[in-house]
Chains A and B, each alone.
Chain A
Amino acid sequence: MLAYYFDLALRSLKRNRALTALMVLAIALGIGASMTTLTVLHVLSGDPLPGRSGSIYYPQLDPQDMKDYTPGVEPPEQLTWTDGMYLLRAKRATRQALMTGGMVPLQSAQSSIDPFQAAALYTTADFFPMFGVPFKYGNGWGAGEDGSKARVVVITSDLNDKLFGGKNSIGQILRLKEAAFRIVGVLGDWHPNPHFYEWYMGSYASDEDVYLPLSASRDLLMEHDGSTECWGNSGGDQSHLETVNCTWLQFWVQLDSPARVAAYNDFLQHYSQDQHAMGRFMRPPNVRLRTMMQWLDHIKVVPSDTRLQTWLALGFLAVCLINTVGLMLAKFMRRAGELGVRRALGASQRALFGQLLMESGVIGIAGGLGGLLLALLGLWLVRQQPADYAKLAHMDITMLSATFVLAVGASLLAGLLPAWRACRIAPALQLKGN
Chain B
Amino acid sequence: MDVLPIFASLRKHRIPTLLIVMEIALACAVLCNAVFMISRRIGDIHLPNAIAEQEITTIKLRGTDPKLVTSDIPRNLAALRNIAGVQAAAIASTVPLSHQNWGWSFGLTQASSVTDQNNTNVTLYFLGEGADKTFGLQLREGRFFNATEYADSTVGNAALPTTHVVIVNETVAKQLWPGQSALGKTIYSGPNYFTVVGVVADVLRPFVSTQNEQKSYYATFYPMAPDPALGYYILRSAPADRDRIMKEAVQKLQEINPAAVATGVTYESMRDQYFANTSSMVWTLTLVCAVMLAVTAFGIVGLTSFWVGQRRRQIGIRRAVGATRGDILRYFRTENFLLSTVGVIIGMGMAFAINLYLMQHYELSRMPWYYLPGGAIALWLLGQFAVMGPAMRAAAVPPVVATHSA
Contacts and interface: CB of A to CB of B under 8 A. Distances in A.
B294 A29 contact: yes
Interface in B11-50: 13, 15-16, 19-20, 22-23, 26-27, 29-30, 33-34, 37, 41
Contacts, number: 165
Given A319-B26, A329-B16, A177 B63 contact: yes
Instruction: Summarize A's interface: helix, strand, loop or mixed.
Output: helix
Given A22-B301, A103-B62, A312-B34, A387 B276 contact: yes
A382 B261 contact: no
A159 interface: no
A430 B370 CA distance: 51
8 contacts: A105-B63, A105-B259, A117-B63, A305-B41, A312-B288, A330-B16, A331-B306, A386-B276
A140 B198 CA distance: 55
Interface in A6-44: 19, 22-23, 25-26, 29-30, 32-33, 36-37, 40
Interface string A282-317: 000000000000000000000111011101110110
A114 B259 contact: no
A37 B280 CA distance: 12
Contact of B276 (A331, A333, A385): A385
Interface residues of B, number: 63
Interface in B305-324: 305-307, 309-310
A309 B281 contact: yes
Contact of A326 (B23, B158, B254, B362): B23
A322 B26 contact: yes
Contacts of A68: 115, 117
B298 interface: yes
B148 to A, nearest CB: 26
Interface of B: 13, 15-16, 19-20, 22-23, 26-27, 29-30, 33-34, 37, 41, 62-63, 113-115, 117, 157-159, 190, 254, 259-261, 263, 272-273, 276-277, 279-281, 283-285, 287-288, 291-292, 294-296, 298-299, 301-303, 305-307, 309-310, 354, 358, 362-364, 406
Give the residue among A305, A319, A434 with the most B Cβ atoms within 10 A.
Answer: A319
Interface residues on A, range: 35 or more
Contacts of A329: 15-16, 19
B20 A326 contact: yes
A304 B276 CA distance: 16
Give the residue among B13, B63, B272, B287 with the most A Cβ atoms within 10 A.
Answer: B63
A319 B382 CA distance: 15
Contacts of B291: 29-30, 32-33, 316
B180 to A, nearest CB: 29
B205 to A, nearest CB: 16
A323 B296 contact: yes
Nearest to B305: A19
A235 B277 contact: no
A170 interface: no
